Amino acid sequence: MVEAALTAEQVLVAAEDVLRRYGPAKATVVDVARELGVSHGSVYRHFPTKAALRDAVTARWLADVMAPLTAIVESDGPAPERLRAWLVGLSTLKRTKAREDAELFATYRALIAEDRDGVREHVRTLVGQLAAIIGDGVERGEFAPVDLAATARAVLDATARFHNPAHAAEWSDPDIDAAFDAVWSLILAGLAPRA
């Protein structure tokens, strides 16, 4: 690879491959450079530290998760349907990543545990998206008036078992979808307009 033409995106793709192969404890910037066929200085031109590279890999993964969820938030349709689609979407995205690329998913779990600021920002974004959907439902009379931020956070917390990587071991439970349906029924009943 020509070092001058190296892009940050190419570095991130290579970093994912290296992390998948060696795991976060053993992967180095030199390994990423070797994967790209460049000097480690070329990698450092895009990411000044190993921590910055790891944070960028984590941010890239979280952005991949957010894109389809953002589309649901911005779509039309009844808020209850969009809220369920958003929750199912978040759960499905995380479960699919865990199932289809277990090594990289385990790496992301480790990287996310290290990047507390990134996780807090991700959670703020998730809560903001939930609040937007719930707010639409309140405006349309589909949901009862609520404290949007507190309710959105409660919905995220109530569904953590289905999307939080800390619960990944539970995602293969054959009853996980029935458990989600039960939690969804409680959320919907809690948000329903009062007579």
Whole-angstrom CA distances from 89 to 26, 81, 156 are: 32, 12, 13
Helix (H) or strand (E) holding 8: helix 8-22
Supply the pLDDT for residue 1: 54
Supply the pLDDT for residue 80: 98
Supply the pLDDT for residue 4: 62
Supply the pLDDT for residue 128: 98
Cα separation, 110 vs 14, in Å, equals 18
Cα separation, 61 vs 77, in Å, equals 28
CB-CB contact of 151 with 191 (8 Å): yes
Question: What average pLDDT does range 14-25 have in this prediction?
Answer: 86
DSSP 3-state assignment of 164? coil
The answer to whether residue 2 scores a pLDDT higher than 60 is: no
Supply the pLDDT for residue 115: 62
Locate 21 and state its tokens: 């192969």
Q: Kindly report the CATH number that applies to the domain delimited by 51-191.
A: 1.10.357.10
Q: Quick one: what percent of the chain has pLDDT higher than 70?
A: 96
Average pLDDT, the chain: 90
**Would you list the DSSP string of 15-33?**
HHHHHHHH-TTT--HHHHH
Least confident span in 37-46, 50-59, 148-157 = 50-59
Cα separation, 35 vs 187, in Å, equals 47
Whole-angstrom CA distances from 116 to 26, 72, 146 are: 21, 26, 29
Q: Kindly report the CATH number that applies to the domain delimited by 3-46.
A: 1.10.10
Per-residue pLDDT of 162-192, as tens digits, reads: 999 889 999 999 999 999 999 999 999 999 9
What pTM was estimated for this model as a whole? 0.83
Domain boundaries, the chain: 3-46, 51-191
Per-residue pLDDT of 70-127, as tens digits, reads: 999 999 999 999 999 999 999 999 898 888 877 777 777 776 677 667 778 888 999 9
Cα separation, 126 vs 122, in Å, equals 6
